Amino acid sequence: MQPVERAEYEGIDYGWVMQTTFVVTILVGAPVVAVLSAFVTLDSWPARAAFAVRVGAPIWFVTAVAVAAYARRTEAGDGGVAEEADTGSEDGEEDDTDTA
């Protein structure tokens, strides 16, 4: 079995930002578009699609900027892995020496 490769990020984890933006936009944007569409007469499917794009695009943009700002401020998306402490070995593995 091939090992999973890991990437070391310096700064923002853009994969996390993209995934979080997608999920939050669906959770927040879909209900907003649905509620706003109740107040607009949409006669055809092309009109409905155009309305969804006109309302959804700003929601997507605002969400993406907010998530990126959050990630930059809090270092989110790092997978919860703290930087490795200096253990004396170059590859980050612990020493197996007994100190007892």
User: Does residue 9 form part of some domain?
Assistant: no
Residue 87 covered by a domain: no
Q: What is the pLDDT of residues 68-77, one digit of tens each?
A: 999 888 877 6
Asked if the structure places residue 50 within a domain, the reply is: yes
Q: Residue 43: pLDDT above 90?
A: yes
Confidence of residue 20 (pLDDT cuts 50, 70, 90): very high
Indicate if the pLDDT at residue 97 is higher than 70: no
Confirm whether 6 is domain-assigned: no
Is residue 42 a part of any domain in this protein?
Answer: yes
Asked if residue 3 belongs to a domain, the reply is no
| Position with higher pLDDT, 95 vs 69 | 69
Distance CA 59, CA 25 (A): 7
Residue 85 pLDDT exceeds 50: no
14 CB-near residues (< 8 Å, 6+ apart): none
pLDDT value at residue 23:
96
* Domain enclosing residue 27, as ranges: 14-74
Q: What is the pLDDT of residue 8?
A: 58
The total of structural domains in the chain comes to 1
Q: Which residue has the tokens 């959050």?
A: 70
